Amino acid sequence: MHKTNSNNEAEILCGIRPLLEAIEAGTEIDKIYLQQNLQGQLFKELWDILKTSKLPYAVVPKSRLDKFTRKNHQGVVAHISAVTSVDLKEVVQSTFEKGEDPLIVILDRVSDVRNFGAIARTADAVGAHAIVATTKNSASVNLDAMKASAGALNHLPLCKESNLNETVTWLQMSGIRVVACSEKTQTTSFESDLTGPLAIIMGSEDKGIAPERLKAADLVVKLPMLGKVGSLNVSVAAGAVLYEIVRQRSLEK
C-alpha cells in the first residue's frame, strides 16, 4: 500500500516529453514548474493535460528553473515524489477494522521540507496512522524530506488531498474528531480530551491554519507558552501535542 518510488534518486525531471511520458506512466509528481511564455505543439499537449488534471503546477521565470538544475530543462522542470501516496479513506477504514482509534496528522500548507520530515518522524514514533498533506502549497516530498524524517516516510502512509475542507468534513462524518492546533484559543492541549479517534491539524510556518479549517474543527487547542516567545516551530509543536495524545491514551489502558 505504501512504498518508496523506485526513481526517487532522480527526483528532478526535465523537459516536456519526459514529463508527458512520466504522467502517462503514472509517476507521482509533487510539483511542475513551467517557464513563462512557452509555445509549441508539445507544450500545448502538456498544458491541456494540466488544465484537466489535479497535478500541481506553477508558471515561473526561466531563472527559477535554472536554480533547480544545470541540465537543458527546455522550460519544464518537475519534482518527482520520493514516496507514493495512498488513499486516506482506505487507511481510515483499515484502522477501524483493526479495532484501533485512528490518529491522523494533517499538515495545512506546511512548506518547509525539514519541518515536514521532522513531523513525519514524530508521527511515526507515536504510532500515527497517516500524515495528510495538500497537493498544492505543501512541502515537496523529496530526498531532503526523507532525510529529515529519518526514513519514517518509508513506513508512515502519506495521503495527498486537493481539498482539505472536504477532507475535514469526511473525517468528521467518519467519527473522527478534528483538533486544530493554534495559538488563537485559550484552551490548552493539557486540559483537553485528546483520546479516541483524532485528526490533528498543524498549520503553516507563516500563516498557521486556514480560517475555514479553524472554524470547522471540533476543538482548537494550544500549548502553554510561559516564556517571552509567542510561538514554537511547527515540528516542535506537533511533537508536543502528539506526545500529549500518547500520554492520555496510555492512561485509558
pLDDT tens over the chain, length 253 residues:
444 443 333 478 888 888 998 888 888 888 889 998 888 888 889 998 988 887 888 888 888 888 888 888 888 998 888 788 899 999 999 999 999 999 999 999 898 889 999 999 999 999 999 999 988 778 777 777 778 888 888 889 999 998 999 999 999 999 999 999 998 889 999 999 999 999 999 998 788 899 999 999 999 999 988 877 767 889 999 999 999 999 999 987 6
Q: What is the CATH number of the domain that holds 37?
A: 3.30.1330.30
Domain region containing 227: 88-252
168 with 51, same domain: the answer is no
β-pairing, 177-181 with 198-203? Answer: parallel
104 with 61, same domain: the answer is no
Predicted structure pTM score: 0.82
What total number of domains does the chain contain? 2
Say if residues 79 and 12 touch (Cβ distance below 8 Å).
yes
**Residue 167 CB burial class (10 angstroms; 0-12, 13-18, ≥19):** buried
Say if residues 198 and 244 touch (Cβ distance below 8 Å).
no
19 with 97, same domain: the answer is no
Q: Is residue 3 part of a domain?
A: no
DSSP three-state, residue 1: coil
Q: Is residue 7 part of a domain?
A: no
163 with 70, same domain: the answer is no
Which of 80, 102, 123 lies at the terminal end of a domain, its last residue? 80
Q: Which residue has the cell 514514533?
A: 125
